[in-house]
A and B are shown apart, each in its own frame.
Chain A
């Protein structure tokens, strides 16, 4: 497979150069993926895919054309390239352009867990163990998904890059129902760790059972303990809006800040870490063939760096950070530096507040100002004087990202590898405690 994919990528680059393009990037990714989906504790569908996809970047006289298409064989290449002349002729010179940089990537090894490939066609059996773990803990019914995959990525470009990397991925999440409540947990890694997978079932159930008596709260400002599911979701937004392309496009709260500006409490450090091999976004080279590296977006509360490719870096007079996608820079893995608290201590720090396990539907009123709201799902627990005293249903965090991040006062020592429907970028995050966060709910 390696030779096949790399050969295709190199062939496209050669043909592109022959056609007179200044820059050619061909990324060919072959993916095998199996997914088992469960609801009401039974299979709803089992799915399996094999795809080979080409992402192509071409530039001539600073005019940029991109293509995404399936590719099966060498014979497809001429057809893909044949229709692009009209595009190059029509488009204008791009302001977000730089010649391809010297290749410096260093493909990572050790990203494949053979167990993932071994069980791919028997993924229902693995899923059944996760379901059993939840039922053994007392769950009345569960819903969730187990996905096993291997990506084989070949990259060639006209600056001389020829890289290949392959990595497996495991993504599991489960929602466990218990009486009128539900809990949720997730796991995302390159490794098939059966204990971690069973923990998804166990923890989802345990979080559904922390309290059963319903209590109500009035809208207002509360101290909140946010689980890694919530932190992962919200910091996914922060990390993506740190992409310089989104800053240039008016979709970022980092439009108005410069390095060194205070954007969070000094307890808080958010890192993009492509070298965290256990997380499924890990890679040794970006889509321009540049070596990836670990960098802080926010370090100890201060904004440190956007995520750049060579093109956005040129526009903003800086250097690539090794985050190139075909057009827009992207985060690889979001990692939040842990703190000094145990998870129990974070709860004990709260006099009047909430423990929020899970959320979804994060939307922004204004990306530049970072005004957002997000809806809780599954259990929300009321905390009084350091103790969980009851369960609350479905409230909203409605605040600004700056307020939220500046009000962080504690993070747990423990971190969790999370990826799921609402946390698309692989993440490693602790629990966090933030003070005075605005909570709303329908009043009519």
Chain B
């Protein structure tokens, strides 16, 4: 789409002195429904459509964008980028270059079974509205005092043209559902759970989530945590971390620190740097043999799905940590040139106003071979942290904290009573060195990963199996 205009933009930029130029038509469009306590707050449409232009000129990287899709519009956008690059001389030290790549000429599309527009809006709303009356049916000791729901469906269409030959046309539909649930107990206060679902595909993906059953199961499980939850054990215990928390941990402590632009320092004032230094790559260990973390944009149905990145490089799985080794950082073509390697197709841009940055796609801990029962059968005293609300990690991706939501004591190999707000606070190395066994079932969870300035939120999956860690001391969140 708009290929003529995009080729014109690239050619015009080169004629103005650019040594590299890329033009990306980028359209995100879709719908959103917001429901609160069984009542529709609003429904609406969101559309972002325009062309992003990036040039390298006299060693400077400059980006501009326009919503004017005419030749005149893109010419002005190129002029601005060129002008900005020229005025940036005082700040140039190392001239910008990109790695040489065999870029794609390709067209791909996620094929859907049920188009969003073929499902009546009324049916989508009906399901969301019904949950306000349906979920309390499984509650015994608490009340659901708030249920905030958000449904989003959308399509991302892109056409990328670069001055070194890329021409990639893509169309990826995505769907998302999120709910914020607040339960209240007359004596114990409140408990809050945010739960999200996301993937690429049509409405059939949404149906596959069985939202009503999943949310009923969820509130049924978290009610005892509020009503009966006790403090976690004070002595060091064996810890089972559920796949939802494992997914978040690998996103935060494997994916982010292995973004090559962070390692170089490009995000130092925003998302921070990395504990990983260039000389550690391929040489130093961060964990044991069970610590293999993969980021794979090509997982079918995934929220972070793509086949070519936003610099035209074909996607493939990246083994970020391999059997405990700090193995392969995520690269775009700029960081690959800095590090003297090839890009592994991690360049992603949120929309037409956004420069492509080094980003994750679908990050997961490689699963193992145990059933859940086998993971816990010989634990005399332990805890199981199945889900979370609060978490954070420092700016070099070393010290991190996860506060359990649905969590239990494990006693004599069995799941026992619920516990309230256990805190796991460890370093990246201690986590990846403490894995003693992994479940065989791989599960994924959606997220919107933020990075860059202006901040770009992009859809990702993160996941893993349930994991058993060696003994550690567990804290408790203040109340």
If the complex has contacts A377-B394, A444-B473, are A66 and B44 also in contact, measured as CB distance less than 8 A? yes
Q: Mark A36-50, 1 if CB is under 8 A from B, else 0.
A: 111111111111111
Whether the Cβ atoms of A48 and B268 lie closer than 8 Å is: no
- A51 lies within 8 A of chain B by Cβ: yes
In the complex, residue of chain A having the shortest beta-carbon distance to the beta carbon of B453: A145
Whether the Cβ atoms of A43 and B67 lie closer than 8 Å is: no
Whether the Cβ atoms of B44 and A68 lie closer than 8 Å is: yes
Interface hits, B179-224 → A, CB 8 Å? 180-182, 189-192
Stretch at the interface among B13-21, B80-88, B101-109, B315-323: B80-88
Interface hits, A90-143 → B, CB 8 Å? 90-96, 121-125, 127-128, 131, 141, 143
Whether the Cβ atoms of A94 and B41 lie closer than 8 Å is: yes
Stretch at the interface among A191-199, A270-278, A341-349, A434-442: A434-442
Cβ contacts under 8 Å, A34 to chain B = 84
- A86 lies within 8 A of chain B by Cβ: yes
Whether the Cβ atoms of B190 and A369 lie closer than 8 Å is: yes
In the complex, residue of chain A having the shortest beta-carbon distance to the beta carbon of B180: A250
Whether the Cβ atoms of A365 and B477 lie closer than 8 Å is: yes
Whether the Cβ atoms of B425 and A64 lie closer than 8 Å is: no
Interface hits, B442-477 → A, CB 8 Å? 453-455, 472-473, 475, 477
Knowing that A66-B43, A144-B269, A365-B403 are A-B contacts, what are 12 other residue pairs whose CB atoms are under 8 Å apart, sorted by A's residue number? A39-B267, A48-B81, A51-B65, A66-B44, A67-B47, A94-B42, A248-B146, A250-B145, A373-B403, A399-B478, A441-B399, A443-B425
If the complex has contacts A124-B90, A365-B477, are A143 and B268 also in contact, measured as CB distance less than 8 A? yes
Q: Mark A63-74, 1 if CB is under 8 A from B, else 0.
A: 111111110100
Cβ contacts under 8 Å, B393 to chain A = 361, 375
Whether the Cβ atoms of A249 and B148 lie closer than 8 Å is: yes
- A187 lies within 8 A of chain B by Cβ: no
Whether the Cβ atoms of B392 and A363 lie closer than 8 Å is: yes
Whether the Cβ atoms of A442 and B268 lie closer than 8 Å is: no
Q: How far is the CB of B414 from chain A (nearest CB, A)?
A: 26
Whether the Cβ atoms of A369 and B39 lie closer than 8 Å is: no
The contact size tier of chain B is: 35 or more
- A257 lies within 8 A of chain B by Cβ: no
- A362 lies within 8 A of chain B by Cβ: yes
If the complex has contacts A87-B43, A366-B191, A442-B426, are A375 and B87 also in contact, measured as CB distance less than 8 A? no
Whether the Cβ atoms of A64 and B478 lie closer than 8 Å is: no
Cβ contacts under 8 Å, B71 to chain A = none
Q: How far is the CB of B143 from chain A (nearest CB, A)?
A: 12
Taking beta carbons and an 8 Å cutoff, which residues of A are in contact with B? 34-52, 63-70, 72, 83-84, 86-87, 89-96, 121-125, 127-128, 131, 141, 143-145, 173-175, 177, 184, 248-251, 327, 360-369, 371-377, 394, 396, 398-400, 403, 421, 438, 440-444
Whether the Cβ atoms of B45 and A174 lie closer than 8 Å is: no
What are 9 inter-chain pairs, A to B, with CB distance below 8 A? A39-B269, A127-B91, A327-B42, A360-B272, A363-B392, A367-B192, A369-B189, A403-B478, A444-B425
Closest 7 CB pairs of A and B: A250-B146, A90-B121, A66-B44, A365-B390, A143-B268, A43-B91, A361-B392
Taking beta carbons and an 8 Å cutoff, which residues of B are in contact with A? 31, 33-34, 36-37, 39-50, 60-68, 80-81, 83-85, 87-94, 120-122, 125, 129, 145-148, 180-182, 189-192, 264-270, 272, 353, 355, 389-396, 398-401, 403, 405, 421, 423, 425-427, 430, 434, 453-455, 472-473, 475, 477-479
If the complex has contacts A68-B46, A90-B43, A444-B472, are A48 and B478 also in contact, measured as CB distance less than 8 A? no
Cβ contacts under 8 Å, A52 to chain B = 67
Whether the Cβ atoms of A375 and B63 lie closer than 8 Å is: no
Bound state CA distance, A351 and B153, in angstroms?
55
If the complex has contacts A69-B45, A86-B121, A145-B269, are A371 and B91 also in contact, measured as CB distance less than 8 A? no
Whether the Cβ atoms of B42 and A64 lie closer than 8 Å is: yes
Whether the Cβ atoms of A43 and B84 lie closer than 8 Å is: no
Whether the Cβ atoms of B40 and A249 lie closer than 8 Å is: no
Whether the Cβ atoms of A36 and B47 lie closer than 8 Å is: no
Cβ contacts under 8 Å, B146 to chain A = 248-250
Whether the Cβ atoms of B425 and A121 lie closer than 8 Å is: no
Whether the Cβ atoms of B269 and A373 lie closer than 8 Å is: no
Cβ contacts under 8 Å, A51 to chain B = 50, 65, 67, 353
Whether the Cβ atoms of A121 and B45 lie closer than 8 Å is: no
Whether the Cβ atoms of B390 and A364 lie closer than 8 Å is: yes
In the complex, residue of chain A having the shortest beta-carbon distance to the beta carbon of B34: A327
Whether the Cβ atoms of A48 and B92 lie closer than 8 Å is: no
Whether the Cβ atoms of B47 and A68 lie closer than 8 Å is: yes
Contact of B425 among A70, A249, A371, A440 (CB under 8 A): A440
Whether the Cβ atoms of B62 and A442 lie closer than 8 Å is: no
Whether the Cβ atoms of B88 and A67 lie closer than 8 Å is: no
Whether the Cβ atoms of B122 and A90 lie closer than 8 Å is: yes
Q: How far is the CB of A172 from chain B (nearest CB, A)?
A: 10
Cβ contacts under 8 Å, A70 to chain B = 47-50, 67
Bound state CA distance, A64 and B39, in angstroms?
11
Q: How far is the CB of A399 from chain B (nearest CB, A)?
A: 5
Q: How far is the CB of A407 from chain B (nearest CB, A)?
A: 12
Cβ contacts under 8 Å, B390 to chain A = 363-365, 371-373
Contact of B120 among A90, A366, A398 (CB under 8 A): A90
In the complex, residue of chain A having the shortest beta-carbon distance to the beta carbon of B193: A366
